[in-house]
Amino acid sequence: MSDMNKINEESLENVVGGAKRVVDTGDDRNAAIRVAPGLNMEQTASLKNGTVVNATGNFKSVDGRNWAEIDFPVHGWIKASIIGYERY
């Protein structure tokens, strides 16, 4: 485990609720985090593959895609499949 992932995991220990998930775009691209679900929503951040996130359990289908809300390490919406949710 890299030092960055270790720090990320340790920080996540203080988050109450949700589920730990790992960002995996399937290639070397970063994952876009958006202010709300949908491709036309403003991108507020991007996360590298391997980043551990906390999924809140809130999901929405928009633009023919499934989206999951995360609240750590940033708050926003990510395509659900990028953090391992094929169905919810």
pTM, rounded to two decimals: 0.82
pLDDT of 81 above 90 = yes
The residues spanned by each domain of the chain are: 3-83
Q: How far is CA 49 from CA 17, 40, 41, 46, 82, in A?
A: 23, 22, 21, 10, 9
What topology is assigned to 3-83 in CATH? SH3 type barrels. (2.30.30)
Residue 87 binned pLDDT confidence (cut-offs 50, 70, 90): low
What tens digit of pLDDT does each residue of 9-60 get?
A: 566 566 667 899 999 999 999 999 999 999 999 999 999 999 999 999 999 9
Tell me: the pLDDT tens digits for 56-72? Answer: 999 999 999 999 999 99
Extract the runs of DSSP E, i.e. beta strands, from 2-87: 19-22, 31-34, 43-47, 52-62, 65-72, 76-79
